[in-house]
Structure formats: structure tokens, C-alpha cells
Amino acid sequence: MNNEVIRLVDITRHFKVGMEVVRALRGVTTVIGKNEFVALMGPSGSGKSTLMNLLGCLDTPTSGQYFLSGNDVSKLNDNELAEIRNKEIGFIFQTFNLLPRSTALENVMLPLVYAGIGKAERIRLAEKALDAVGLSDRMSHKPNELSGGQRQRVATARALVNNPSLILADEPTGNLDSKTSLEIMGLLHDIHRAGNTIIVVTHEESIARYAQRIIRLIDGEVETDERNTDI
């Protein structure tokens, strides 16, 4: 049990749209262990975005249980979920989600502000995270002074800074050219080798190939869950 980061037990998520009930997830059960690199794939409407929101504690299931680092988070209230998100989960988004008027260092420090960590320690940890993604010479730059790849590296440093149990990357290369996409996936590969658990949501087979394991969803259910034999 102590080697599990995620355990999903018969997770469903239903939405009411007008008079109709949309069954976005239909009994998803899976376990993801510590230091796994998993790609979550599926066509539009497969439920992968809904599942990502549940994994990221941005939403709660209609039924079933979600254990994160051994804690049942499926019944927590909004404030408790926010605390779990800040402590346990690092997010990397397709659109970077950086504050435009803040420097790279200030953007990376933000989760530490919410965690109540003192300023000197915030600076030290943010500098360490930016150094880890190769941006020690860009700490004082604002997002509009950085390339797309550099902005995604800042977002990655921000995801790492709290030393989370889980890193969730939602289409992390969606706004990047192919060369920069390879650089970012290489960076995530290195982060995984350093011991982090990573889940990448992607619709690109070339990105999924970096993962050890590929889970494919269709119509709200796990269609296949296979080891990647190409790596």
C-alpha cells in the first residue's frame, strides 16, 4: 500500500446537462505506483479530461473512492481539496498559466506562498527548482520575455517546487513546436528518473511513447492499460 500514489475504486462521474445525464466516467478502477510515468489517452469525449480533474482534486466523483498517497480524497470539501492540491499535486498546463506581470522566480514561488513558507525559504526553493529545469539565468524574466519552451519550463519548476507526490501534465506540449516538445518531454523524462510520479494527458502517440505505461479510455471506461514495450 505504501508504494501506491493513486488507487481508484469504481469511480463514476455523472453530469446533468438539461434533462440528460452524461456518464463521463463509468466505473474506473486502477492503481498507479510511486515513480510511474503514465500516459492517459483517449478521443474527445472519452472521459480523460474528467478523470484528470478528479486526479487533480479539482472535482469529486459521483461514486467510488479515490485514494491519494493512502488518503481517501473522494469525499473532501472544497477547502480540504485545495489543501491537498497545494501539498500533494504539481500541475503543468498546456497554456502555462503563468502570471504575466510576475518574474519566473515569483511565478515559481506562488505555491509556496499558499503553503505559508517564509520568504527566504521560498526564494531558495524556487531558485533550486528553476535551476533544475535549466533556467537559472532567466529567473528575473517575465513570461513575455521567454520563449514558449522556457515558459513551460517555468511552469514545470512551479509544479516541482512543493516536492509533490504527483505531477499532472495536461497536454504539456500542445502549444509548442515539435523541437520544443521533444525538449519538454526530455525534461519530464529526467524528472521521472529523479523519482517523481508523472501522469501526462495527451492525444499524441509520439508524446505517449515517453511513458512506461499507457492507459486508454473510451466512453468513460478503461479500454486498455498496457506497459510501453518501446522504452
pLDDT tens digit sequence for 47-69:
999 999 999 999 999 999 999 99
CA 178 vs CA 89, 97, 174, 175: distances in Å: 27, 21, 10, 10
pLDDT, average across residues 190-203: 93
pLDDT value at residue 117 = 93
**67 — phi, psi (to 5°)?**
-100, 125
pLDDT value at residue 12 = 97
pLDDT in tens, 126-138: 999 999 999 999 9
Q: Quick one: what percent of the chain has pLDDT higher than 90?
A: 86
pLDDT value at residue 211 = 95
Provide the mean pLDDT of the chain: 93
Cell numbers at 87, concatenated: 501539498
Number of domains in the chain: 1
Alpha helices in the chain (DSSP H): 48-55, 78-88, 104-114, 119-132, 148-160, 178-193, 205-208
Q: Is the pLDDT of residue 176 over 70?
A: yes
What lies within 8 Å, CB to CB, of 159 at 6+ separation is 90, 91, 92, 167, 169
pLDDT band at 179 (very low <50, low <70, confident <90, very high): very high
Helix and strand totals (H; E) in the chain: 7, 10
Q: Is the pLDDT of residue 222 over 90?
A: yes
Which structural domain range is residue 31 located in? 4-227
Q: Residue 192 is part of a domain; what is its CATH number?
A: 3.40.50.300
Q: Is the pLDDT of residue 231 over 90?
A: no
